[in-house]
Amino acid sequence: MNNLQELYQKIILNHAKNPVGYGTVPHANCVGALRNPECGDEITVYAEVDAQRIQQLGFTGTGCVISMASASMMVAQLNGRTLADARQLWENFQNLVLQKDCDSDQLGDLAAFASLHQFPTRVRCGTLAWHALAEGLKEKGEVFDG
C-alpha cells in the first residue's frame, strides 16, 4: 500500500470512528432517510436550511465504515454552505466516485474516496448520506440531486 492510500485509509477510519455531526439537528426543516437494501446501511440526514444556505447539518444511522465516513465528511464540508455550493460539491463527489472528471482540490477529505469506483457495490455506501440529503431537500422543494 502506498503512502497516499494509507493516508486515505486513516482519514476514512477517523471519520467513521469520530463522525462529525453525528446526531439530530434541533431546528431541522429537511429530513431525508434512506436504507441501502444491498447491505442494510441506514442513514437519516437532518438539515436546517434558511435563505438558500445549509445552516446546520447532522446525521444518524448505522452502517459500514464507508457510509459513516462519507456522511461525516459531507457534514464537515456542507455546514454553512449555500445550496448552490453544496450542489456543486455533490456533483464533484459523484464524479470522483464514478471515475469521471472532477476538481479534486475542492473535495478536501472526500478525495479519500478516489478509489471507490473500483468497488461498484460500495459506491452506494459512499453516496448514501448524500442521496438522503437530496431526498430531504426534495421535500422542501429544492432540487439537489440530478
- Output DSSP code: residue 130: H
pLDDT for position 140: 77
Query: What CA–CA distance (Å, rounded) separates 141 from 134?
Result: 10
pLDDT for position 132: 96
Query: What CA–CA distance (Å, rounded) separates 53 from 135?
Result: 16
pLDDT for position 1: 54
Walk along the chain (146 residues) in steps of 10 and give the mean pLDDT of each run. Answer: 75 94 96 93 96 96 95 97 94 92 87 90 94 91 71
pLDDT for position 121: 87
Q: What are phi and psi of 30, to 5 degrees?
A: -140, 125
Sequential DSSP letters for 60-127? EEE--HHHHHHHHHHHHHHTT-BHHHHHHHHHHHHHHHTT----HHHHGGGGGGTTGGGSHHHHHHHH
Using CA of residue 110, residue 114, residue 120, residue 122, what is the dihedral sign? negative
Query: What CA–CA distance (Å, rounded) separates 67 from 65?
Result: 6
CA distances 38 to 34, 42, 128, Å, are 12, 11, 12
